[in-house]
């Protein structure tokens, strides 16, 4: 019996090259679709359906294995139909699939968080459980180039600095997460599905302008594309440059921190004056950020890091600056001392 999954050699040459381009980008992230298995997150929408087909084709080409997973959030009347669509697609393609239904509204209420965050947490918890159960190496999610451009715009709106303005990462090793479609535009994925004769589901909530991301997608990004039809290419270049700069900065900061004594849990940590004086200001602020993050949760924001650098340059000995997570930086003659505030002592 003929498999319903097309082989690369059965596709028109343009689309075979398209698949090989996705494979090359995934390989640069550490995924070769062979040996170690992959878990593919599939909502039933165009992006994740295309990712499922692409992964299945590339796994068949390279001898790899994959498992699909889907979470029914129970927030929309059609969510059950979407889960059945994913189940039927995986049955047709002979792909094992794990599907769960959660009451995300109840979860959000119990955890006192927003619906979007509650859903995101539930999804990634499911993905990780399936990854461990299957002994898979990677979790593949379907963020694509339009998503990246939207993410860059939202970061700009929030006031993010460089290189964070480059947008989401393609590889998150802490969560075993890969985004192999991140530099692939949405319309290419939809055209690929049409060539394969594969339908997909449409999530009506993506057109609800109450959500900021939807307004960026529906209103702001189209204006930029009209002004510059190659705007998505520009977004991809921005992402690549940000990754290069982030890698350089991370390696430089790690090299500086490696020269200092090991930080003991809960005790103050000194960034010595000699090091700070020899470090350029942009790198110095990244050094402050990395050192503060060693004390645990609480993200140091750009404005506070800039102010800390100003205080150091002013040699404002004795000045203190607080950061989220009950963290504090103190300017001293010997350098900048970082510590966690003891609120019990502070309150007497």
User: Can you spell out the DSSP letters for 134-168?
Assistant: HT-SEEE----HHHHHHHHHHHHHHT--TTGGG-S
- Amino acid 1: pLDDT: 39
Q: What is the mean pLDDT of the chain?
A: 92
Q: Are 225 and 232 in contact (CB under 8 A)?
A: yes
Report how far apart, in Å, the C-alpha atoms of 245 and of each of 23, 166, 317 are.
Answer: 24, 10, 32
- Determine the Cα–Cα distance for residues 302 and 313; give it in Å rounded to an integer: 17
- Amino acid 4: pLDDT: 81
The CATH code for residues 261-346 is 3.30.465
Q: Residue 347 pLDDT more than 60?
A: no
- Average pLDDT (195-224) is 93
Q: Residue 18 pLDDT more than 50?
A: yes
CA-based nearest residue to 43, from 129, 132, 119, 149: 119
Q: Are 286 and 314 in contact (CB under 8 A)?
A: no
* Residue with tokens 């090359």, as numbered in its chain: 24
Q: Residue 108 pLDDT more than 80?
A: yes
Q: Residue 344 pLDDT more than 90?
A: no
H helix or E strand, kind and range, residue 275: helix 273-277
Least confident range from 22-26, 155-159, 160-164, 319-323: namely: 160-164
Q: Residue 282 pLDDT more than 60?
A: yes
Least confident range from 86-100, 184-198, 330-344: namely: 330-344
- Amino acid 110: pLDDT: 87
CA-based nearest residue to 167, from 243, 109, 75, 279: 243
pTM value is 0.87
Q: What DSSP character marks residue 205?
A: G
pLDDT digits (tens, 9 = 90+) for 140-157: 999 999 999 999 999 999
- Average pLDDT (219-246) is 97
Report how far apart, in Å, the C-alpha atoms of 101 and of each of 28, 71, 104, 130, 206 are.
Answer: 34, 6, 9, 14, 20
pLDDT digits (tens, 9 = 90+) for 299-336: 888 889 999 999 999 999 999 999 998 999 999 999 99
Q: Residue 193 pLDDT more than 90?
A: yes
Q: Residue 348 pLDDT more than 60?
A: no
- Amino acid 157: pLDDT: 92
- Average pLDDT (220-242) is 97
Q: What are φ and ψ of residue 171, in 5° steps?
A: -140, 120
Q: What are φ and ψ of residue 299, in 5° steps?
A: -90, 120
- 8-242 fold: Rossmann fold (3.40.50)
Q: Where in the chain is the domain with CATH 3.30.465?
A: 261-346
Burial class from Cβ neighbours inside 10 Å (0-12, 13-18, 19+) for residue 252 reads middle
CA-based nearest residue to 25, from 149, 190, 143: 143
Token pair of 99 as six digits: 């599907």
Torsion of CA 276, 277, 278, 284, to 10 degrees: 40
- Determine the Cα–Cα distance for residues 161 and 300; give it in Å rounded to an integer: 12
Residues facing residue 97 across a β-bridge: 68
Tell me: cis bond preceding 201? Omega within 30 of 0 counts: no
Q: Where in the chain is the domain with CATH 3.40.50.620?
A: 8-242
Report how far apart, in Å, the C-alpha atoms of 158 and of each of 182, 212, 221, 267 are.
Answer: 21, 12, 16, 33
What pLDDT band is residue 210 in, cutting at 50, 70 and 90?
A: confident
């Amino acid at each position: 019996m003929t498999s319903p999954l097309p082989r690369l050699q059965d596709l028109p040459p343009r689309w075979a090259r398209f698949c090989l381009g996705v494979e090359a980008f995934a390989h640069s992230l550490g995924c070769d679709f062979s040996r170690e298995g992959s878990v593919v997150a599939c909502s039933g929408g165009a992006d994740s359906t295309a990712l499922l087909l692409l992964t299945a084709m590339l796994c068949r080409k390279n001898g790899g294995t994959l498992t699909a997973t889907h979470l029914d959030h129970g927030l929309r009347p059609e969510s059950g139909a979407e889960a059945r669509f994913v189940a039927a697609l995986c049955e047709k393609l002979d792909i094992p699939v794990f599907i769960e239904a959660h009451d995300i509204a109840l979860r959000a209420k119990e955890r006192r968080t927003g619906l979007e965050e509650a859903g995101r947490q539930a999804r990634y918890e499911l993905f990780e459980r399936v990854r461990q159960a299957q002994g898979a190496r990677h979790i593949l999610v379907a963020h694509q180039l339009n998503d990246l451009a939207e993410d860059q715009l939202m970061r700009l709106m929030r006031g993010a600095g460089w290189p964070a303005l480059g947008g989401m990462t393609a590889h998150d090793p802490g969560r075993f997460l890969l985004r192999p479609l991140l530099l692939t535009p949405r319309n290419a994925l939809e055209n690929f599905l049409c060539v394969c004769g594969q339908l997909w589901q449409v999530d009506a909530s993506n057109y609800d302008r109450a959500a900021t991301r939807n307004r960026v997608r529906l209103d702001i990004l189209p204006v930029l594309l009209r002004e510059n039809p190659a705007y998505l290419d520009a977004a991809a270049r921005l992402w690549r440059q940000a990754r290069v700069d982030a890698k350089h900065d991370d390696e430089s900061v790690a090299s500086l921190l490696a020269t200092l004594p090991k930080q003991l849990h809960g005790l103050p940590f000194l960034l010595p004056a000699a090091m700070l004086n020899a470090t350029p200001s942009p790198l110095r602020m990244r050094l402050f950020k990395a050192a503060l993050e060693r004390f645990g949760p609480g993200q140091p924001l750009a404005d506070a890091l800039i102010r800390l650098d100003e205080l150091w340059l002013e040699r404002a000995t004795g000045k203190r600056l607080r950061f989220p997570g009950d963290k504090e930086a103190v300017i001293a003659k010997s350098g900048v001392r970082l510590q966690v505030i003891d609120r019990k002592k502070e309150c007497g």
